[in-house]
Amino acid sequence: MPCELRDAERVVYCAIVTTTLSTTQPQHDVHTELAHAGVYRVVVLNDPVNLMSYVVLVFKKVFGFDEQTARKHMLEVHEQGRSVVWVGLREKAEAYAFTLHGWHLTAIVEPDEKN
Amino acid sequence: MKRIEVKLSLPVVAPLLDVIKKAADELQGGLAVPLGTDVDHDLVEVWNAELLAMQNDGVAQLLAMFDSEFFETGMIAFDEENAESILRACAALRLHLRARYLQTFDDESLEIGDMDPDELPEALRMPFMCYVFLATIQELIIQNLDSEILGE
């Protein structure tokens, strides 16, 4: 995964990778391990019901996005039907999906094919 | 603590409450947004139970605002204690109203929301008015209490 990550959470993920790589393990083993752990993305799907202002608020609350980032993701959901709002390890992706369900947004977790 | 008080028109809102209560009862046993098949098999049961409990708590809080005092004064109040739960409850109920009663509307019509309720068939008029009413509550909360919800 490149380190020009899109948000703070991905920076955290990058830090984890860096720490792992700094151990004495050969790099290919580390990559195998990360592949097993898997990189997943949280995708929010469009629904015709929830207000745009509500979706923006939820993104700010759940992910700590600023207004501009939250609006960008909301518009992606609205116009393209989906937006990848977070990428990282599966356990945390599932936790985010659970939280989004608690706000009644439709969120799925799927493998990040780029990683 | 920031608090907003809203005076509602009793003759307009009171009839909506029966429909909202009915929708709340229908929603009690299931999630407004069912879990997808992507959710790990081991997690589904636990998530369902926790999300349903959260959903039912929120809806109960929303309904509790329309108590005997409301029917005397027409007033409801939001603050940082109840704003988030009410906001979520409105979302859950709107999703249910859409799925259960308003399926005949296309998405665009509902998003724009420019339909005249008086021109709607009787069976759709009240659910549609509830749908709009709950959105209005959400807008009020977001416009006035977003900082409290975000903990800023």
Using one digit for the tens of pLDDT, what is the confidence trace for B102-120? 998 888 888 777 788 888 8
Residues 74-133 of B with CB under 8 A from A: 87-88, 91-92, 94-95, 98, 107, 110-111
CB A49 within 8 A of CB B95: yes
Domain ranges, residue B66: 3-150
Q: Which residues pair with A45 in a beta bridge?
A: A82, A106
SS3 A82: strand
Block residue for tokens 């592949």: A35
Please give the model's pTM, rounded to 2 decimal places: 0.84
pLDDT in tens, B40-99: 888 899 999 999 999 999 999 999 999 999 999 999 999 999 999 999 999 999 999 999
Tell me if A49 and B94 make a contact (CB, 8 A cut-off).
yes
Q: Which residues pair with A83 in a beta bridge?
A: A44
Among chain B residues, the shortest Cα distance to A110 is held by B38
CA distances in angstroms from B88 to A2, A49, A54, B138, listed in the order given:
37, 13, 9, 9
Instruction: With beta carbons under 8 A apart, name residues in chain B contacting A110.
Output: 38
Q: Which residues pair with A110 in a beta bridge?
A: A41
Number of Cβ within a 10 Å radius of residue B94: 28
Please give the tally of structural domains in chain B: 1
Among chain B residues, the shortest Cα distance to A107 is held by B36
Distance CA B144, CA B2 (A): 9
Sheet holding A106-111, edge to edge: A82-89, A39-45, A106-111
